[in-house]
Amino acid sequence: MISWDDEDKINQSGIVRKGSESLSSGQFKKCAVKLIVESESDNNELDILTELRHQNIVNLIEFGHLGNTGLETHLYMVMELCDCNLTKYMEIERDMSVTSFKFVSRQLLAGLGFIHGRNLIHGDIKPNNILVINKEIFKLSDFGISRRFRREYAHGTQTRDGVGSDGYRSPESYQSDVQLTRAADIFAFGIVLAQLISKGQHPYGPYPVDWQFSIRHSDKFPPKCSNLSIENPQKRKQLEELLTETISTKPGNRPSTRRVEEHEFFSDESVDNSRSIRQRSIRGNPQ
């Protein structure tokens, strides 16, 4: 059984609350409860999340009907409770090491690769839609506008409704006659990575009001990926090149999740190894 207190809100709009799940052992486990409006044509979030089971995707525990409230029927989705979103995490962990950056990035890549492998597009990748547990597990969430990627539409036309959030929306997503592909998620993912490794700075500048315009005219206002907090100049250059490709204006130029994983920046373990050996010896010290 699930119970929640309407006042125990997790996010500002109150759409997500803290709840409690009673287990068969008689114990209680905390959970997150998200309320969504049921619509006959589209229970997207629920349908998609039911299908996705992966360690880097938020876990759906159960769902149910809440009954009618006026004209609308509400559904509730019970999810595992995470500690915070990536926006908050970036505020806390401003000086991220290369090792930690790779650690987070690889998890996000694993989650996104899993989604793309199922012919799905997330559609709204951004720090608020990435959840964190214990500062060590990173999960993609909020599949409210996800959609199935249709090969037959890849070069065709189809109108779309919600397609993401300004600052993370790809340039092509502003054109009504272009069908979105996985490359739109890659663009948003690239922006998130750039923020993670540059103390939260957005590659299109500090002012959210400018983001949409700059992205739509990125030929004139190219993104800035040169403030990366990486000391090693070779590594910094490698990542700068990778991020520039990832947030390229042309969707066809953006790499797949697999290509990002295989990129020399991520595949070269030499820097990571020296760091993790040092970390292990510190932890292993009984003092």
Residue with Cβ nearer ligand ATP (134 or 176): 134
Q: Of Mg ion, ligand ATP, none, which one does residue 82 interact with (CB within 5 to 8 Å by kind)?
A: ligand ATP
Residue with Cβ nearer Mg ion (45 or 142): 142
Residue ranges of alpha helices (H) inside 143-216 are 182-196, 208-216
Q: Of ligand ATP, Mg ion, none, which one does residue 178 interact with (CB within 5 to 8 Å by kind)?
A: none
Report the Cα 146 to chain-centroid distance in Å.
Answer: 12
Residue 21 in contact with Mg ion, rule: CB under 5 A: no
Report the Cα 226 to chain-centroid distance in Å.
Answer: 22
Residue 146 in contact with Mg ion, rule: CB under 5 A: no
**In the bound complex, what is the minimum distance in angstroms from residue 185's beta carbon to Mg ion?**
15
E-state strands within the chain = 2-9, 16-22, 28-38, 60-69, 72-80, 84-85, 120-121, 130-133, 137-140, 147-148
**In the bound complex, what is the minimum distance in angstroms from residue 216's beta carbon to ligand ATP?**
23
Output helix, strand, coil percentages for the chain, rounded to the nearest 5.
40, 20, 40
Q: Of Mg ion, ligand ATP, none, which one does residue 85 interact with (CB within 5 to 8 Å by kind)?
A: ligand ATP
- Asked about 124 being catalytic, the answer comes back as yes
Consecutive H or E run containing 239: helix 233-246
Residue with Cβ nearer ligand ATP (126 or 236): 126
For residues 158 and 259, what is the distance between their CA atoms, to the nearest angstrom? 28
Q: Which of 124, 142, 185, 210 is catalytic?
A: 124
Residue 128 in contact with ligand ATP, rule: CB under 6 A: yes
Residue 16 in contact with ligand ATP, rule: CB under 6 A: yes
Smallest CA-to-CA distance from 228 within 261, 190, 195 is with 195
Active site (catalytic) residues: 124
Which positions lie near Mg ion, rule CB under 5 A?
A: 129, 142
